[in-house]
A = this chain, B = another copy of it.
């Protein structure tokens, strides 16, 4: 029998760690195969610490960022991590790059996908990645694209937590309890040597999202005792058999 699967589309190579590392580790624990696609390394725009070092080059930055991301992926138990190396600040995908992403989507056949918020005035790569995720999801559903391949169903696209959520118009509708895998997420976070200033920031986020989890699962009258959580916004409606 085939495992269930999930797909993360990360604009830069560290995004998947901060924003959905818990979801990845948790679903791997549940038997999912999670694939992570890093569209770029964030080599130009999200590697300030490296660029401040003497004699730094683009290739060195990319190599360093890839190593960090691989370490983090290993800490989370990621099944497959792919680096598309498409450049950042700005990130751009031509038709070939989009079709390459479609190939991954079709191969993975994810139960759900994860990507960035739909608006981000600080970082246009982020919103562009989600625009591309929606476009490629649509292409992957087309019976006339590479006829004969298995077409995609209708997986949910969850938007993971951006930095400065309110500025992005991001509103979580789903909180996931990641208490059981928190140690893995923290370990993955600590792989990000270049962004140590964010370690405690995202630990704070996880603790506070757990408060939201407790409140929304019952508060002081029956809430579930989550210690760490992540929030997600759904693009598409759910289909259910029970409310």
Contacts and interface: CB of A to CB of B under 8 A. Distances in A.
A31 to B, nearest CB: 11
B201 A147 contact: no
Contacts of A44: 139, 142-145
Interface size, A (range): 35 or more
A240 B166 contact: no
A143 B88 CA distance: 12
Contacts of A234: 173
Given A143-B220, A165-B166, A222-B153, A175 B242 contact: no
Interface of A: 6, 23, 26-27, 30, 43-45, 47-48, 51-52, 56, 58, 61, 88-90, 98, 112, 121-125, 131, 134-135, 138-139, 141-145, 147, 150-154, 156-158, 163-167, 169-177, 197, 200-201, 204-205, 207-208, 211-213, 215-224, 226, 231-232, 234-243
Given A88-B142, A89-B138, A90-B138, 6 more contacts: A26-B242, A43-B144, A48-B220, A125-B138, A174-B240, A176-B240
29 contacts: A27-B242, A44-B143, A45-B138, A45-B144, A45-B145, A48-B143, A61-B144, A90-B138, A122-B215, A124-B131, A124-B138, A141-B221, A143-B220, A153-B218, A154-B215, A154-B216, A154-B217, A164-B212, A167-B237, A173-B173, A174-B237, A174-B238, A174-B243, A175-B240, A177-B241, A197-B211, A204-B204, A212-B237, A216-B239
